[in-house]
Homo-oligomer: A and B are copies of this chain.
Amino acid sequence: MVTSNYAQLGRTREVPLTEGTSRIEAFSDGVFAIAVTLLILEIRLQHAGVEGSLWTGLLALWPYYFAFVLSFFVILVTWIAHHDLMRLVRATNRPVQLANGCALLYVTFIPFPTAVLAAHLGGAEASTAVAFYCGTFVFGSGAFNLLVATITRAQLFRPEVDAQTIRRIRRGYRITFTIYVAATLIALVAPWVALAINVAVRLHLLHIRYQPAPQVP
């Protein structure tokens, strides 16, 4: 019986096996850490495109600083949300690895819409750039909804996580998805409002997830 042999592998003590969620978390952490650090490569003095002193050039880069800080914050909150989700999970299977891959695809994509946002924030096509930026979060939220649905379907949540908590998590992810769709549409007419909605959603997420955080003694 192959399956029981494999299950037994996990209990061998001499050479520890990477199993459960540890290696997928390590890989995901790596992707989050790299994506967040690559953001800086989009800030370049040549982008300032102004004549004058170095101070003038550094100040003219404000849309790049803004987009950098905003996307840094977005990736950080996404990392925390991923962290909070995965600690409720007891193991992974192939579908979960793939759904997690979709979530990571979104994370690695973020530097590109960030660069588009930075290049057009003060210009005539700001609404297009912001809509593209916000649309990325619609895709990302879809990937996270898929991840939660996949974990639920395979019954991979820890036994301590009761059905009500799972329902609450899934409803939260669905609501967030709806807000991101709305923000993308709003971006077409009021880009700054759309960005403010995105920041507000993240601040709210940080707040409501604070309660169930584990109290390590």
Complex contact A15–B90 (CB within 8 A): yes
Complex contact A40–B112 (CB within 8 A): yes
Complex contact A32–B27 (CB within 8 A): yes
- Identify 19 new A-B residue pairs, CB closer than 8 A, beyond the known A3-B212, A94-B213: A5-B162, A7-B216, A9-B160, A14-B217, A18-B22, A18-B87, A30-B34, A31-B33, A31-B37, A35-B40, A36-B104, A39-B108, A45-B115, A54-B120, A58-B128, A72-B108, A76-B97, A94-B206, A94-B209
Q: Give chain B residues whose Cβ lies under 8 Å from the Cβ of A101.
A: 72-73, 76
Q: Give chain B residues whose Cβ lies under 8 Å from the Cβ of A172.
A: none
Complex contact B108–A216 (CB within 8 A): no
| Chain B proximity of A41: nearest CB distance (Å) | 7
Q: In the complex, what distance in Å separates the CA atom of A164 from the CA atom of B154? A: 30
Complex contact B87–A9 (CB within 8 A): yes
Q: Give chain B residues whose Cβ lies under 8 Å from the Cβ of A171.
A: none
| Chain B proximity of A187: nearest CB distance (Å) | 13
List A residues at the B interface (Cβ < 8 Å). 2-3, 5-10, 12, 14-23, 25-27, 29-41, 43-45, 53-55, 58, 68-69, 72-73, 76, 79-80, 83, 86-88, 90-91, 93-94, 97-98, 101, 104-105, 108-112, 115-116, 119-120, 125, 128-129, 132, 158, 160-162, 165, 206, 209-217
